[in-house]
């Protein structure tokens, strides 16, 4: 039912329940509307305890330039000139 002469929208405000002589803690032996609402809308369970933040992993050591490493191996005699060249060719591909 809509009344053509309605003048403004009204959003009901929650008013505190109280008696003439002060705040009466008991609502006529029944659940108050707010209590009934709360009973039919149980609060969501509290979220589980948050897991501790993951430990920041140790940053990997900076990657060494493979060409420089090959040069070092060649100079130290670990690999031959041919092996050095072969490995450099692999890096290039």
Give me the residues that bind another protein (CB under 8 A), please: 1-3, 5-26, 28, 32-35, 37-38, 41
19 vs 57, which CB is nearer to another protein? Answer: 19
Helix, strand, or coil (residue 67): helix
Could you tell me the smallest distance in angstroms from the CB atom of residue 45 to another protein?
A: 17
Q: In angstroms, give the least distance from the CB of 59 to another protein.
A: 46
- Which residues 6+ apart lie within 8 Å of 32 measured at CB? 17
| DSSP H or E stretch at residue 85 | helix 81-92
Q: Report the distance separating Cα 41 and Cα 50, nearest Å.
A: 25
| Residue number, 42 or 59, with CB nearest to another protein | 42
Pick between residue 22 and residue 77 the one whose CB is nearest to another protein: 22
């Amino acid at each position: 039912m809509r009344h053509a002469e309605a003048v403004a929208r009204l959003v009901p405000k929650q008013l505190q329940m109280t008696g003439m002589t002060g705040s009466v803690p008991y609502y006529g032996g029944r659940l108050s509307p707010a209590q009934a609402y709360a009973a039919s809308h149980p609060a969501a369970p509290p979220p589980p305890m948050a897991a501790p933040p993951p430990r920041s992993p140790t940053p990997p050591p900076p990657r060494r330039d493979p060409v420089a490493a090959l040069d070092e191996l060649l100079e130290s005699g670990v690999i031959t000139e041919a092996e050095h060249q072969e490995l450099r060719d692999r890096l290039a591909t």
